[in-house]
A and B are shown apart, each in its own frame.
Chain A
Amino acid sequence: MSKDILVQVEHISRYYGPNAAVSQVSFELKRGEVLGFLGPNGAGKSTSMQMITGNLAPSAGRVKICGIDLLDQPKAAKAEIGYLPEQPPLYRDFTVDEYLTFCARINRISRDKIVAAVKRAKERCGLTEVSQRLINNLSKGFQQRVGIAQAIIHSPAVVVLDEPTVGLDPIQIREIRGLIRELGNDHGVILSTHILPEVQMTCDRVQIINKGQLVFSDQIENLNQRMQSASLLLGLRQPPTESDLAAINGVLKVETLEGGHFRIFHESENSPAETIVAEAVKNNWGLFELSAERKTLEQIFVDITSTETAVGENAA
């Protein structure tokens, strides 16, 4: 079991002067898992990423990569990490081939395997046809892909990607998301982003960080459940009174909206939609709209980040 835990983060904190950019963050990443790291700007996402990849030492706490402590044995631990920072670390006056060959070398890939590793990384990121081009002359999307290729060239156990789909066109975004899912099969992936649908599509688990603290961590399925409707939107031409609607079995609360619209709150497991339709037909209410309201990830995100703020303010 312990073999499959790739990243172990224990209570890491980082202070910039008196400001805590990250405080007491702990989590684990298992093999075959894609972990989404969400948070508003300045929440400490990038700082956390830098600490996990050994670019920045935590002020307190430890990071273990495949059971190897990052501070005690940085070389051994770093060999298991591939990192794409917010801004891809490229040497712009090199060609793609030269650059990736250099990356392969400094990641200690043995000499006879370098060519194969470069080729494979290029194939996975769709870079084969630009091999001979200067990185500087590539478009932003391609540069981003070179950055990803750099991170996966030595097939590390853990791939850390900081906003990997920034600046890509929709087709490339889909390809990169596919690549991330594919990486998630046999590596562990940590993905930081502020694009919410991306998290829903690619991640197995979501963590939300706000003001340096981990405020939410759950499997994506649970999150989807949380997003499931607990309310219906109802539109009627000849609406009855609110209490008539409230009397329907399974309805918890009714809210009257404009233009004959009502919001019906119910228990998330059993929706009273069928009963409402039957009642509407029977009493000739003139039903013209009935839809389940889905909470978006965005709402959940806003809920979590803003309520946490409120709690923090109360405490202060």
Chain B
Amino acid sequence: MMVLHIMRRELRAMFLSPLAWTILAVVQFILAYLFLTQLSEFIRFQPELKKLEQAIGVTDIVITPMYGSASFILMLVVPLITMRVISEERRNKSLSLLLSAPISMTEIVLGKYLGVVAFLMIMIGMISIMPLSLMIAGSIDTGLFMATLLGVILLVASFAAVGVYFSTLTVQPTVAAIGTFGILLLLWIIDWAGAKVADENATGLLTYLSMLRHFESLAKGVINTSDIAYYLLFIGSFLTLSVRRLDADRLQH
């Protein structure tokens, strides 16, 4: 219940600042542009695609790539949303309102995290209107679409968990944003190096760590428990770290 109150406040505070609206508008605009170019490409090649034996549909050519771009753009955007979650409260000294209220640290962190996730879900919802609009004219591969959507949601939820953690570390929102972005980018490209490492175990580990790899398989329509578990573990770990960090603030170390 407390989690819900904090989440609602967080969401409301976001929409009271122009930042949230700006981010929503910019992301929507860029993705709409990408979506339209992709769509016109598809329409141009459609006659030839029809001749192929294993037909590639609009979902493969338009929708999945658009979510791919969306995930990359969101990697840049999520740090901007999460940066202020706790660091700004620390800076404005309003954190003590939550600390002296009868709420646990876990409730505070979860509430804040879910507030951010709720905002991101609104954003993904807005983006998803575009591919769904294609259903008016034709049909899409619903299974693939759902798997990709699940992938994006899990991916973005993981971004948010990292962001919240970095926001607990500092009073400077910008530092939190840069830190989050650094970690996300590293985890995104970590398997590039993996290809060059001779040791096979190491390659496997680096590939496993890469956030992108797990997303890619979901974007192919393969819902694999290990991918989902990866994201859930990822989120759980960073949220636990955030709770620990806030507690460490209070307790003597």
Q: Which residues of A are at the interface with B, using a C-beta cutoff of 8 A?
A: 14-15, 50, 53-59, 74-76, 78-79, 81-83, 85-87, 89-94, 98, 102-103, 105-108, 150
A84 to chain B, nearest CB (A): 9
**For the complex, what is the distance from the CA of A59 to the CA of B251, rounded to whole Å?**
8
Collect the chain B residues with CB atoms within 8 Å of residue A53's CB.
96, 99-100
Does chain A have a CB within 8 A of B9?
A: yes
A299 to chain B, nearest CB (A): 34
B115 to chain A, nearest CB (A): 13
- When C-beta atoms are compared, the residue in chain A nearest to B251 turns out to be A57
**For the complex, what is the distance from the CA of A7 to the CA of B100, rounded to whole Å?**
15
Instruction: For A106, give its contact among B92, B95, B98, B252 (CB under 8 Å).
Output: B98
Query: Are B17 and A89 in contact, CB atoms less than 8 angstroms apart?
Result: no
Which of B64-72, B101-109, B139-147, B159-167 is near enough to bind chain A? Answer: B101-109
The proximity string for B residues 3-26 relative to A, scoring 1 for CB distances below 8 Å and 0 otherwise, is 001100100110011000000000
**For the complex, what is the distance from the CA of A143 to the CA of B92, rounded to whole Å?**
13
Q: Which of B85-142 contact A (CB under 8 A)?
A: 92-104
**For the complex, what is the distance from the CA of A108 to the CA of B5, rounded to whole Å?**
10
9 A-B Cβ contacts within 8 A?
A14-B252, A54-B100, A58-B252, A75-B104, A78-B100, A78-B103, A89-B92, A90-B94, A103-B97
**For the complex, what is the distance from the CA of A105 to the CA of B99, rounded to whole Å?**
14
Does chain A have a CB within 8 A of B44?
A: no
7 further A-B contacts with Cβ under 8 Å, apart from A79-B102, A106-B2, A106-B98, are A85-B93, A86-B93, A89-B94, A90-B94, A91-B9, A93-B13, A102-B5
Does chain A have a CB within 8 A of B250?
A: yes
Collect the chain B residues with CB atoms within 8 Å of residue A75's CB.
102-104
B69 to chain A, nearest CB (A): 32
A85-B251 in contact given A75-B103, A79-B102, A91-B13 (Cβ < 8 Å) = no
- When C-beta atoms are compared, the residue in chain A nearest to B99 turns out to be A55
**For the complex, what is the distance from the CA of A85 to the CA of B95, rounded to whole Å?**
10
Query: Are B96 and A83 in contact, CB atoms less than 8 angstroms apart?
Result: yes
Query: Are B252 and A55 in contact, CB atoms less than 8 angstroms apart?
Result: no
Query: Are B95 and A89 in contact, CB atoms less than 8 angstroms apart?
Result: yes
Query: Are A107 and B102 in contact, CB atoms less than 8 angstroms apart?
Result: yes
Instruction: For B93, give its contact among A89, A105, A150 (CB under 8 Å).
Output: A89
B105 to chain A, nearest CB (A): 9
Query: Are B103 and A57 in contact, CB atoms less than 8 angstroms apart?
Result: no
Collect the chain B residues with CB atoms within 8 Å of residue A108's CB.
2, 102
Query: Are A91 and B94 in contact, CB atoms less than 8 angstroms apart?
Result: yes
Query: Are B101 and A106 in contact, CB atoms less than 8 angstroms apart?
Result: yes
Query: Are A83 and B102 in contact, CB atoms less than 8 angstroms apart?
Result: no
**For the complex, what is the distance from the CA of A76 to the CA of B182, rounded to whole Å?**
40
- When C-beta atoms are compared, the residue in chain B nearest to A86 turns out to be B93
- When C-beta atoms are compared, the residue in chain A nearest to B5 turns out to be A105
**For the complex, what is the distance from the CA of A86 to the CA of B17, rounded to whole Å?**
26
Query: Are A93 and B17 in contact, CB atoms less than 8 angstroms apart?
Result: yes
Collect the chain B residues with CB atoms within 8 Å of residue A87's CB.
93
**For the complex, what is the distance from the CA of A15 to the CA of B252, rounded to whole Å?**
8
Collect the chain B residues with CB atoms within 8 Å of residue A106's CB.
2, 5-6, 97-98, 101-103
Query: Are B102 and A59 in contact, CB atoms less than 8 angstroms apart?
Result: no
B224 to chain A, nearest CB (A): 40
- When C-beta atoms are compared, the residue in chain B nearest to A103 turns out to be B97
B210 to chain A, nearest CB (A): 38
**For the complex, what is the distance from the CA of A14 to the CA of B252, rounded to whole Å?**
8
Query: Are B252 and A76 in contact, CB atoms less than 8 angstroms apart?
Result: no
Collect the chain A residues with CB atoms within 8 Å of residue B13's CB.
91, 93-94
- When C-beta atoms are compared, the residue in chain B nearest to A60 turns out to be B252
B143 to chain A, nearest CB (A): 42
A76 to chain B, nearest CB (A): 7
